[in-house]
Amino acid sequence: MTNRSLTYRTIRRPWTAAVPLLAGAALLTGCQGTGGWLSDAPPSPADAVRVHPDDGAHGVPADHRIEVRVPDGRLERVEVTRAGDTGSEPVPGRLTSDGRGWRSAGTPLALASRYTVEAVALDGHGRRTARHTTFTTYVPEHRIVGFFRPEHRSTVGTGMIVSFDFNRPVRDRAAVERAVTVTARPEVTVAPHWFGDRRLDFRPRAPWRPGTEVTMALRLRDVRAAPGVYGIQHKTVRFRIGRDRTSVVDATAHTLTVRSAGRPVATLPVTAGDQDNPTYNGRMVILERHPMTRMDGGTVGFGGEYDIPDVPHALRLTTSGTFLHGNYWASRNTFGVANTSHGCIGLRDEQGGSPDTPAGWFYRTSLIGDLVEVIRSPEATVAPDNGLGGWNMPWRAWLRGSAAG
């Protein structure tokens, strides 16, 4: 491997939670690492770890089984989850006797839900590869569901933005907006903003105060969202704002400064996007945490240039594919000195992911919802609808995105 870091950019949207509440969703990731695996290249991600239903599948019937299979080697770990009324709920399953397969067991799949599959396998050469897939189950005809984040009873960072991704276009946005309320204790104004006809976000004027208790009241049942289309959700979702922590990446200085309650607690050397593929500027929010994931250039238009099957300590910052992740293939003198990636931010790590490296420490101490701001990069500011980039939109412009006024 050469010492280049990783990212990928794609327009697919891996939103989390639904009703019933669901786990975080993600797509197969791709990231920059020139040279790939050369002649010892592993099989494609879909062949290395085969998952059924397919990644991104919609309308999966309740009687389907979830299956994971590897043609070579063995499965090291399989975790399948759906977010339920008490938070993320594990889906039971069993490994086959040869260790190459896993199949869900027990009750049928829940309708109008999103499922997440996390699998790690060892192939016949002893190489570790990870796969992360999601799918959604059948939503009854003429019904609309809002898949949302964050999860019920979760603790999140001060940058968390409540976000709904609807399974069908919303024509009467004002009616749907009035049926969803987001309130906080201590009290603070929380305003809605529509991005198109399928996405509705809520945020306060400034990042949340630590310790704030937030309540989402979903009263969408039988609300007319479009001609002949009605909501089915009637739930109350609560989450808590954790400690105050933000991180600032200076792309010119090649540093990441971590601040707790406004005070610097650590400065870590990084490698960010190179001159041809600079990292986005602006404020981003940690969307997902993956102890290990696969990043394959073939999934995002980079051909066979790279395929990293075991990227450790991966934190997603945008839906288009910017990650802050561990990097074990770069030489130590890359970090803090040079920007070598296609837009991701790399921290020094070891293969397999070590908790004692900068990447391991940052991952272990991070929360979904933490803010990460990038400064002094030649790239444009990240778009407000790319991940939870709404903090880059001025408050007055945010308020104009309400359909109900």
pLDDT, tens digit, 9 for 90 and up, residues 321-352: 899 999 999 999 999 999 999 899 999 999 99
Query: Is 256 within a domain?
Result: yes
Q: Do 221 and 252 reside in the same domain of the chain? A: no
Tokens at residue 48, please? 């290395």
Contact 7, 277 (CB under 8 A): yes
Query: Is 398 within a domain?
Result: no
The Cα–Cα gap between 381 and 245 comes to 21
Q: What share of the chain is helix, strand, coil (3-state, %, to 5)?
A: 10, 40, 50
- Structural domains of the chain, count: 3
Q: Do 94 and 189 reside in the same domain of the chain? A: no
What is the structure's pLDDT at 107? 82
Q: How confident is the model at residue 396 (pLDDT cuts 50, 70, 90)?
A: very high
Q: Do 279 and 349 reside in the same domain of the chain? A: yes
Q: Do 69 and 152 reside in the same domain of the chain? A: no
Q: Specify the pTM.
A: 0.85
pLDDT digits over 14-44, tens only? Answer: 333 333 323 333 333 444 443 333 335 556 6
31 in active site: no
User: Of 290, 313, 342, 344, which one is the catalytic site residue?
Assistant: 344
The Cα–Cα gap between 208 and 369 comes to 10
Query: Is 21 within a domain?
Result: no
Contact 57, 35 (CB under 8 A): no
Query: Is 349 within a domain?
Result: yes
Identify the CATH number of the domain in which residue 221 sits: 2.60.40.3710
Give me the domain span that covers residue 181: 143-243
Query: Is 175 within a domain?
Result: yes
Which of these three, 227, 243, 259, is where a domain ends?
243
Long-range contacts made by residues 186-192, C-beta under 8 angstroms, separation at least 24?
186/212, 188/212, 190/162, 190/214, 191/398, 191/399, 191/402, 192/401, 192/402, 192/403, 192/404
Query: Is 396 within a domain?
Result: no
Is the pLDDT confidence value at 306 over 50? yes
What is the structure's pLDDT at 301? 57
Identify the CATH number of the domain in which residue 116 sits: 2.60.40.3780
The Cα–Cα gap between 339 and 164 comes to 35
Which of these three, 73, 105, 137, is where a domain ends?
137
Cβ neighbors of 268 (< 8 A, separation 6 or more) are: 255, 256, 257, 258, 347, 358, 362
User: Of 132, 152, 254, 325, which one is the catalytic site residue?
Assistant: 325
pLDDT digits over 220-257, tens only? Answer: 999 999 999 999 999 999 999 999 999 999 999 999 99
Q: Do 207 and 254 reside in the same domain of the chain? A: no
The Cα–Cα gap between 36 and 262 comes to 40
Is the pLDDT confidence value at 296 over 50? yes
Which of these three, 243, 278, 297, is where a domain ends?
243
Identify the CATH number of the domain in which residue 321 sits: 2.40.440.10
Cβ neighbors of 189 (< 8 A, separation 6 or more) are: 204, 205
